[in-house]
Amino acid sequence: MMRISETVKHLIIINVIMFIGTIAIGEGVLFYDWFALYFPKNEAFQPWQIVTHMFMHGGPMHIFFNMFALWMFGTPVEQTLGSKRFLFIYFSAGLGAVALQLGYYYFKYIPMEQEAMALGFTQEQIVEVFKDGKVFRAIGQEFNEIYYASMVGASGCIMGILVAFGMMNPEAKLMMIFLPIPIKAKYFIPGIIILDLISGITGQSFFSPSNTAYMAHVGGALAGFIIMWYWKKTQFNRNRWN
């Protein structure tokens, strides 16, 4: 059995503590109100949520699969890169996940907001108008799904680590629980990212729950790829990982 690396171990401990706190304090609501990431237009949004949501999870299976993936892929990545570079990729991927998911939300949100403002509604009135559903009924549901969205989980961070693992071990064979067929990492990981991208655009869920922040997965993977590509290609030895 692969021995867990130190940084990965501490990240898992923090995630577990946060999960226990979520279910034990404030009837499962208080930690969400404080630490989940809300859409910035929502009054529940706070700047620290950009980081704290990475340590929050929505249920036992959510945290189990994320922590299993963190142990499985994070340990060999940390052993190769060292703790500092591992943490740099981990949190950079988490921030990349936030940037792409919120960017996608804004891309869909702004036209709806502009349409309402063109009819004379103020920004304060728009939320109530869409929430009420009597006006803009056709797009009210989509507006509310964005405005009241909350994001939790380490998935974006882990996608960056998964990409790092794949770039260092392209011939490693991986498989999904629901598809027990060994596939090389250089095919498996891009395939997962493509499915996430399709799911994010179309709303069609393949292997993840329908409320998954698919664009966050893509953003985390993209950040991990850019960092690893730079470290591998740079002419400065101090930035190389191999």
pTM of the model: 0.89
User: DSSP code of 58?
Assistant: S
pLDDT tens for 11-26 read: 999 999 999 999 999 8
Domain with 167 in it? 6-239
Q: In this structure, is residue 1 part of a structural domain?
A: no
Q: How many CB atoms lie within 10 A of CB 135?
A: 12
Q: In this structure, is residue 70 part of a structural domain?
A: yes
Q: How many CB atoms lie within 10 A of CB 204?
A: 11
Q: In this structure, is residue 43 part of a structural domain?
A: yes
The secondary element (H helix, E strand) that includes residue 128 is helix 123-132
Q: Which residues 6+ apart lie within 8 Å of 48 measured at CB? A: 35
Q: Which residue has the higher pLDDT, 125 or 226?
A: 226
**Closest alpha carbon to 100 in 239, 202, 221:** 221
Q: Which residue has the higher pLDDT, 240 or 113?
A: 113
**Number of structural domains the chain divides into:** 1
Are 163 and 217 in contact by the 8 Å Cβ rule? The answer is no
Please give the torsion angle defined by the CA atoms of residues 197, 163, 13 and 38, in that order, rounded to the nearest 10 degrees.
-30
pLDDT at 46 over 70: yes
Find the range with the poorest average confidence among 113-117, 144-148, 204-208, 213-217: 204-208
Average pLDDT over residues 31-60: 95
CATH of the domain at 68: 1.20.1540.10
pLDDT tens for 65-112 read: 999 999 999 999 999 999 999 999 999 999 999 999 999 999 998 988
